[in-house]
Amino acid sequence: MTLQPATERDTALIVAIAQSSDDSLLPDSAIAHCINQQQLMLVVEGGQPIGFIAEKIILDEAELLQVVIGADYRKSGRATEALYSWHQYLAQREVKQVFLEVREGNEAALRLYEKLGYTKIGVRKNYYVIAGVKYNALLMQKTLC
CATH number at residue 103: 3.40.630.30
Is residue 24 predicted with pLDDT exceeding 80?
Answer: no
* Count of domains observed in the chain: 1
Query: Domain range spanning residue 9?
Result: 2-143
Q: Max CA-CA distance within the chain? A: 41
Q: Given strand 40-45, what is the order of strands in its sheet? A: 2-5, 40-45, 48-58, 61-69, 97-103, 133-143, 119-130
Q: Which of 87, 89, 88 shows the shortest CA–CA distance to 99?
A: 87
Average per-residue pLDDT in the chain?
92
Q: Burial of 67 by CB count in 10 Å (0-12 exposed, 13-18 middle, 19+ buried)? A: buried
Tens digits of per-residue pLDDT, 53-70? 999 999 999 999 999 999
Catalytically active residues are 101, 113
Higher pLDDT, 33 or 6: 6
- What integer is the mean pLDDT of 109-131? 95
